[in-house]
């Protein structure tokens, strides 16, 4: 078992919060409440929306940078023609 000094244990707020949460859960009594169909469906819909938003955010942060890397560099566009290059072009005969 890992030993934790008492100074470290008291200086951090997280262990105290965890112990408080465990104690609160241990002494909680049942609510004896009824969650009807409407509130249950609303909670389920919210959960599905939250999971979907998380998956879409993950998809956006992962896929689009990979897509940019896979696309690679595009070939350079051809140089625009100038009057000087037109002067050296062979003349069209009619």
Q: What is the DSSP string of 32-57?
A: -----HHHHHHHHHHHHHHHHHHHHH
Distance, in Å, from the CA atom of 84 to the CA atom of 94, rounded to the nearest integer, reads 22
User: What confidence tier does 74 reach under pLDDT thresholds 50, 70, 90?
Assistant: low
Residue at 3 is within a domain: no
Q: Give the pLDDT score at 92.
A: 60
Structural domain count of the chain: 1
Residue at 66 is within a domain: yes
Residue at 26 is within a domain: no
Residue at 53 is within a domain: yes
Residue at 60 is within a domain: yes
Residue 8, exposed/middle/buried by CB under 10 A (0-12, 13-18, 19+)? exposed
Alpha-carbon dihedral angle through residues 53, 54, 58, 63, given to the nearest 10 degrees: -20
Residue at 2 is within a domain: no
CB 15 within 8 Å of CB 9: yes
Give percent of the chain above pLDDT 90: 24
Question: Whole-model pTM?
Answer: 0.41
Residue at 56 is within a domain: yes
Q: Which domain holds residue 62?
A: 44-70
Better-scored residue on pLDDT, 73 or 47: 47
């Amino acid at each position: 078992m890992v030993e934790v000094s008492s100074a470290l244990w008291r200086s951090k707020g997280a262990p105290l919060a965890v112990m408080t949460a465990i104690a609160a859960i241990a002494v909680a009594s049942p609510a004896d409440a009824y969650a009807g169909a409407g509130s249950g469906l609303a909670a389920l819909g919210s959960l599905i929306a939250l999971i979907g938003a998380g998956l879409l955010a993950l998809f956006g942060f992962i896929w689009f940078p990979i897509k940019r890397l896979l696309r690679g560099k595009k070939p350079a566009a051809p140089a625009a023609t100038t009057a000087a290059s037109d002067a050296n072009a062979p003349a069209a005969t009619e």
